[in-house]
Structure 1
Amino acid sequence: MTSRQQTHFPLSFPRQYARTQRFTLGAPRAFTVSPDGCRVVFLRSLSGTQRSHHLWVLDLEGEVRERVAADPEALLGGAEEELSAQERARRERSRESSAGIVGYAVDEAVELAAFTLSGRLFAAELRAGTARELPVPGPVIDPRPSPDGRHIAYVAKGVLRVTGAEGDGDRALAEPEDGETTYGLAEFVAAEEMDRSRGFWWAPDSDRLLVARVDEQPVRCWWIADPAHPDREPEAVRYPAAGTPNADVRLYVVDLDGERTEVVWDRERYPYLARVHWSEQSAPLLLVQSRDQRVQRCLVADPETGATRTVHVDEDPVWLELMPGVPAWAPDGRLVRIADEGGARVLAMGDRALTGGTLQLRAVLDVGADDVLVSASAGEEAAAPETGEIHVYRVAERGVERISEGAGVHSAVRGGAVTVLSSARPDAPGAVTQVLRDGKQIAVVASHAEKPVLSAGVRLLETGAHRIPCAVLLPKGYEPGAGPLPVLMDPYGGPHGQRVLAAHNPHLTSQWFADQGFAVVVADGRGTPGRSPAWEKAIRDRLDLALDDQVEALQALAERFPLDLGRVAIRGWSFGGYLAALAALRRPDVFHAAVVGAPVTDFRLYDTHYTERYLGSPQESPEVYAANSLITEDGLSAPENPARPMMIIHGLADDNVVVAHALRLSSALLAAGRPHEVLPLSGVTHMTPQEQIAENLLLLQVDFLKRSLGVV
């Protein structure tokens, strides 16, 4: 680190931000409520800097109290955790960077929990507060108790196995036929893009399971090498790039003796198994999608014969969005789903929509006997905009009731009469987690997260002709008469990546950049979630509309805030990295420098389910891929687009956006005679969890931005 950096850059926030893993350590998460309302189970580390998570129980019977149900240090005898390659891959797909107990599953009564540590299987009796290891073959992946709590199913080396809850009778239920096949695991695109991390589901009566069989042999093999260690063999990765074959996914009903029946549907027309739901209300419910994601079917499967029948079909000329928590069955047998109807994303039960244009549905959280608990934002027909707010609602035949109060980002988990409501607000760090019974607070789940050393003074508003949601942050203590400020646009700006949120912590890094002498703008343009289906789908074939909206927001905000439009930079990661590079290459008249983190530069190198949703097939629409690429010769060599300073950052171990994206961009820039900087991160994936790396990345970005914009 240079002496200039030590003199001018305060280290306190970057170090704290990295050490606390973005202030997530110590915060409670992954809540489960017992159906009798007696217990709340959750994960939490002991402090805001400890990575290892414990399993906790909040008892609601008698005296309300918290207790540890499983301590990973005690269970491992103080030994360091060792993760298998499959477990590391699962955590990468879920962006999990902490340690200890990072996930668990419970039986129907929420009396037994199963989890893994170092690939070993553990079970915890949640009433008694005792935990024990079960002697089974490993490394264990995704253990799940049966609803009756008598068995635990899990995956080890691609084999679906089951053991008794006491560790007795362990046996294989489904074994792969070759080294490219697994039973009980989600394939890459399911875990990365469909929000389906599971590969098996217990029957309500605990006598059999639905099991996914994944054959990756059709998927092309890529190789990820570690250039910093040339003595190590490259890692083989099956990566389904756009326009290439996906894994072959089938589904079987498997009983506890290993007898299996294949569930049959038209897999050629509907190759994507997106959702599986099996509850006591009805037979198994599947959601399958066509490859172009414009048609999907809800199927009911007969567990005896494997035959399926269609109960609902959705079609959309652009694409169909997969939504959390649906489809599902209501207790009265009606189908619960989220649909795009009448310009809004609505909750439907049976053939009737229960919400309208005043709400934009985001997820179904729980289906009760008399209502459905949902997450939603204000729709375009709402009386007033609620920029960045996400609320929890009860939806019933008689109407809609909001149960979260005040501006913020709210989420909930429910069991019976008990609801756990977590609320993050713009004027306070972290989140407050209340436990409500029949709507009244009976407890608060403590958070051990550290308090940030700085406070985000975020201004939330909508601006421009498209009413683009924006967050604006100015340096602490800035006086209006001090003159205009250099600008840093700090977006993600793409699908599934809302950045403008009515909460404090999401804006901390932007505030830190602002305190280095910038006016920071975060803009959520077309393509980002939470507004309307039309808003999200406007970018079909036209990802550059995301750039147009960044420009529109910047120019509109310059009429209200002290922005120096002669010194504008942009930074971003993943899609945000793509957007930052696009800005520097396509609009150098507006943007004067860019920090380009882990960018997708050539969408032919990105995965099928994501890329084909927005750009179609590369074989059928090569011109669309060329138009959205960062490395086309015409765009790079255009004389009207002068070179702008660009810092390209990429992890060499990234198996999601592989480093080939950055290398191809650098090669194209070099061939076009455009100066740029490349920062390769050895051993780093799409995440940057390592403390020193995360800290120094912030410092190096500020140094680059100041140099590039002439900021002193």
Structure 2
Amino acid sequence: MTADLSFPRQYARTQRFTLGAPRSFSVSPDGSRVVFLRSRSGTDRTNVLWVLDLEERREYPAADPRVLLGGADEELSPEERARRERLREGSAGVVAYALDDAAELAAFALSGRLYVAELRGGTARELPVPGPVADPRPSPDGRRVAYVAGGALRVVEAGGGADRALAEPDRETVTWGLAEFVAAEEMDRSRGFWWSPAGDALLAARVDDAPVRRWWIADPAHPGTAPTEVAYPAAGTPNAEVSLALLGLDGTRTDVTWDRDRFPYLARVHWSAGGPPLLLVQARDQRSQAYLTVDTATGATRELLTEEDPEWLELFPGSPQWTPDGRLVRIADEDGARVLKVGDRTATTPALHVQAVLDVTDEDVLVVAAAGPAAEDAATGEAHVHRVTRTGAERLSTAPGRHSAVRSGAVTVLASAAVDRPGAEVRVLRDGEQVAAVASYAETPVLAARPRIVRAGARRIPAAVLLPTGHREDDGPLPVLMDPYGGPHGLRVAATHNAHLTSQWFADQGFAVVVADGRGTPHTSPEWEKAIHEDFAGATLDDQVEALHALAADGHPLDLGRVGIRGWSYGGYLAALAVLRRPDVFHAGIAGAPVTDWRLYDTHYTERYLGLPDERPAVYARNSLVTDEGLSAPADDHRPLMIIHGLADDNVVAAHTLRLSSALLAAGRPHEVLPLSGVTHMTPQEEVAENLLLLQVDFLRRALPPAEK
């Protein structure tokens, strides 16, 4: 029974309460069907492809992996495992799908095989093609399916037969139709090919990772197993060579040309009936980028506009794209605000901080936006769906919380999460009126999160404070656990319930937990995000200290003599940074998968913030944990530090922890290292995820003993 489970076990078993929750919604253009993924229970990892028929008001499975595989276990190729790691995908079954324009046909890969599903009838079948298959996508007319296998981009008839390669690798290091490492990991571009609106050609990325340096990730627990070779573009080293070609179904190939020396990063591709193929390409330093159109007859490109920024230029979901009548839609930073641009017009005011474009018509643009720098009395951690027209922005999500949407025509699927209830509520609206709901099978957590979301200090840092369940004002001050991510793209102070569950569990172990989103996190304004330019170690750490002290001064029951900090990935870096640089404030730290030497992290992320290491060695030294500057605190002022790392991590490789441990040992600083054999950056294994929480509490209790009376 769920009630008998501990929270750590339930949290691990449900994959952070994501299993059983509906996701990946699509709406048919005629408004008759909603397509989505969902597993059959809150502990079932296998996603089923579902259809909600709005006319008949019934749900039915269009593709059930257990039926299609006859009960056999799913088999994944190493390439597919790596692809899912980039997407942070821990579930199984149908993890992604693509539709034709009419939403009649879905294509998906399952156990390395290609399947299509007729959505009106709810029948699925396998297409016999070479495998293992990656990223199958139907043509807009539904007559064909393109997919990648063996590094080649191939096409097969949707009814089966006529399978052929449109482009094949000419060497082992080349692939067609797949995203390179930094595109998938850092640019939020997981695709590598795009159908023409007419369905007669594809625009395909050719990736050659021969220039990328090779790393080898070993499994020390199995010394008889050869290390895995990984092409990893570390900061300052060569990237993969990425180019584009137009591949006609008639066998023609036209190479797309642009100044790839100036703009080597292919960040976005959009191809719709609203205009010619549209590219967004970036300079390596990401301080300039160009919007290009492609001449499909010659492959030549034309520059629509170029943007520049003294720090860096952000990339945004859904941006850029065309309106149906041919106007460019994009998100841009302008006069201190993040705004929506439609053609030459700035369509939103600084009262909104636009985060993503969801849908575009001639009449309006649907976006997700938070409160911007000009907003008054805006609720912290909220994000709402807005309809932007020529006359202004109308908020469609009315309840407090965080919202997103998928829309086609008059039908909108609105997903809403709030602080006062677990999970998300999914409603289907037609012309603004609810006509259906999509049920979630996610489990209800065995505990309830009770965050108090506030603004802290002179900088008004977004923060959440969580106290033990049943805590009373006269119980006195509590040991403090700072629980940040603290870095770019990592919002933690969210106006949702599930975002704070782990923090609440730590609070219930006897801590006052503080989650603070300082400068660099995606809140409110470009200025807030870009304050960390060349300064991870200063701004992010200073804001944790400011938030802590400001909250204590405001009367929260925080014992400043017993302060711990924990985090993962960038949060792990911040936790180690805190105990090494500010032992006067932080008395214990837990650093999970920390980036300790930024020269070992990837190009697109690291160079965006710190520049090239050969050009800015002092910046890298100042922000590193393994240099003399990184270990600058007095050597006799030790603070307990636990470092945790998955040895199979190919994102933040275990070398980060090993180098930090060596530096600490050389400096005479005691610390603990917890290596996780066979674990990647995600730690999806149930036993590992559960015991990591328990071990962290045990460490904190040892490191922050009760105050003497």
1:532 to 2:525 alignment: yes
Is the partner of 1:636 in helix, strand or coil? coil
1:278 to 2:303 alignment: no
Alpha-carbon distance, 1:639 to partner: 2.2
Alpha-carbon distance, 1:258 to partner: 2.8
1:82 to 2:75 alignment: yes
Alpha-carbon distance, 1:380 to partner: 1.5
Is the partner of 2:280 in helix, strand or coil? strand
* Cα distance in 2 for residues equivalent to 1:167 and 1:289: 39
Give unmatched runs, 5+ long, in structure 1.
1-9
Alpha-carbon distance, 1:300 to partner: 0.3
Q: Which moved more, 1:632-641 or 1:380-389?
A: 632-641
Distance 1:641 1:360, change over 3 A: farther
Alpha-carbon distance, 1:368 to partner: 1.4
- Find the counterpart in structure 1 of residue 25 from structure 2: 31
2:666 aligned residue (664, 671, 680): 671
1:567 to 2:562 alignment: yes
Letter in 2 for 1:275: R
1:73 to 2:66 alignment: yes
Alpha-carbon distance, 1:463 to partner: 1.1
2:403 aligned residue (410, 428, 441): 410
Alpha-carbon distance, 1:641 to partner: 6.7
Alpha-carbon distance, 1:304 to partner: 1.0
1:142 to 2:135 alignment: yes
- Find the counterpart in structure 2 of residue 264 from structure 1: 257
Q: Do the aligned partners of 2:580 and 2:632 also contact (CA within 8 Å) in 1?
A: no
- Find the counterpart in structure 1 of residue 443 from structure 2: 450
1:197 to 2:207 alignment: no
* Cα distance in 2 for residues equivalent to 1:343 and 1:282: 30
Q: Do the aligned partners of 2:480 and 2:559 also contact (CA within 8 Å) in 1?
A: yes
Letter in 2 for 1:22: R
- Find the counterpart in structure 1 of residue 371 from structure 2: 378
Q: Do the aligned partners of 2:456 and 2:547 also contact (CA within 8 Å) in 1?
A: yes
Alpha-carbon distance, 1:157 to partner: 1.0
- Find the counterpart in structure 1 of residue 573 from structure 2: 578
Q: Please list every run of at least 4 consecutive aligned residues from structure 1 whose deviation after the TM superposition is greater than 6 angstroms.
A: none
Letter in 2 for 1:546: T
Give unmatched runs, 5+ long, in structure 2.
none
- Find the counterpart in structure 2 of residue 6 from structure 1: none
Alpha-carbon distance, 1:398 to partner: 1.3
Matches within 5 A, 1:100-499: 100-499=93-492
* Cα distance in 1 for residues equivalent to 2:477 and 2:377: 31
1:688 to 2:669 alignment: no
- Find the counterpart in structure 1 of residue 40 from structure 2: 46
Q: Do the aligned partners of 2:21 and 2:39 also contact (CA within 8 Å) in 1?
A: yes
Is the partner of 1:701 in helix, strand or coil? helix
Q: Do the aligned partners of 2:98 and 2:137 also contact (CA within 8 Å) in 1?
A: yes
Q: Do the aligned partners of 2:461 and 2:518 also contact (CA within 8 Å) in 1?
A: yes
1:650 to 2:645 alignment: yes
* Cα distance in 1 for residues equivalent to 2:576 and 2:653: 16
1:606 to 2:601 alignment: yes
Letter in 2 for 1:170: D
Is the partner of 2:621 in helix, strand or coil? helix
Matches within 5 A, 1:628-639: 628-636=623-631, 638-639=633-634
* Cα distance in 1 for residues equivalent to 2:692 and 2:39: 26
Q: Do the aligned partners of 1:42 and 1:57 also contact (CA within 8 Å) in 2?
A: yes
Number of residue pairs the alignment of both structures matches:
702
Is the partner of 1:300 in helix, strand or coil? strand
Is the partner of 1:222 in helix, strand or coil? strand
* Cα distance in 2 for residues equivalent to 1:141 and 1:269: 31
Q: Do the aligned partners of 1:219 and 1:238 also contact (CA within 8 Å) in 2?
A: yes
Deviation per CA, 1:551-607, whole angstroms, max 9, x where unpaired?
000000002200000000000000000000000000000000000000000000000
Distance 1:638 1:557, change over 3 A: closer
Deviation per CA, 1:206-263, whole angstroms, max 9, x where unpaired?
0000000000000000000000000011010000000000000000000113321010
2:655 aligned residue (656, 660, 663): 660
Alpha-carbon distance, 1:11 to partner: 6.2
Pairwise CA RMSD: 0.9
Letter in 1 for 2:34: V
Is the partner of 1:633 in helix, strand or coil? coil
* Cα distance in 2 for residues equivalent to 1:314 and 1:397: 24
Letter in 2 for 1:73: R
* Cα distance in 2 for residues equivalent to 1:205 and 1:153: 14
Q: Do the aligned partners of 1:574 and 1:657 also contact (CA within 8 Å) in 2?
A: yes
TM-score (ref. length: structure 2)? 0.98
Deviation per CA, 1:332-387, whole angstroms, max 9, x where unpaired?
21110101001000001111101111000000000012100000000111121210
Letter in 2 for 1:15: R
1:589 to 2:550 alignment: no
Alpha-carbon distance, 1:530 to partner: 2.7
Deviation per CA, 1:276-297, whole angstroms, max 9, x where unpaired?
0000111100000000000000
Q: Do the aligned partners of 1:172 and 1:258 also contact (CA within 8 Å) in 2?
A: no
- Find the counterpart in structure 2 of residue 541 from structure 1: 534
Letter in 1 for 2:228: E
* Cα distance in 1 for residues equivalent to 2:602 and 2:633: 29
* Cα distance in 1 for residues equivalent to 2:667 and 2:635: 13
* Cα distance in 2 for residues equivalent to 1:488 and 1:74: 47
Distance 1:650 1:151, change over 3 A: same
Letter in 2 for 1:387: T
Deviation per CA, 1:441-484, whole angstroms, max 9, x where unpaired?
00000000000000001100111011000010000001111110
1:617 aligned residue (605, 612, 615): 612
Q: Do the aligned partners of 1:83 and 1:119 also contact (CA within 8 Å) in 2?
A: yes
- Find the counterpart in structure 2 of residue 503 from structure 1: 496
* Cα distance in 1 for residues equivalent to 2:398 and 2:420: 14
- Find the counterpart in structure 2 of residue 12 from structure 1: 6
Is the partner of 2:373 in helix, strand or coil? coil
Is the partner of 1:700 in helix, strand or coil? helix
Q: Do the aligned partners of 1:347 and 1:354 also contact (CA within 8 Å) in 2?
A: yes
Letter in 1 for 2:682: M
Q: Do the aligned partners of 1:604 and 1:625 also contact (CA within 8 Å) in 2?
A: yes
Alpha-carbon distance, 1:686 to partner: 0.3
Q: Do the aligned partners of 1:588 and 1:641 also contact (CA within 8 Å) in 2?
A: no
* Cα distance in 2 for residues equivalent to 1:630 and 1:469: 26
Is the partner of 1:673 in helix, strand or coil? coil
* Cα distance in 1 for residues equivalent to 2:328 and 2:14: 42
* Cα distance in 2 for residues equivalent to 1:155 and 1:530: 38
- Find the counterpart in structure 2 of residue 551 from structure 1: 545
* Cα distance in 2 for residues equivalent to 1:634 and 1:408: 42
Alpha-carbon distance, 1:637 to partner: 5.7
Q: Do the aligned partners of 1:573 and 1:598 also contact (CA within 8 Å) in 2?
A: yes
* Cα distance in 2 for residues equivalent to 1:327 and 1:416: 20
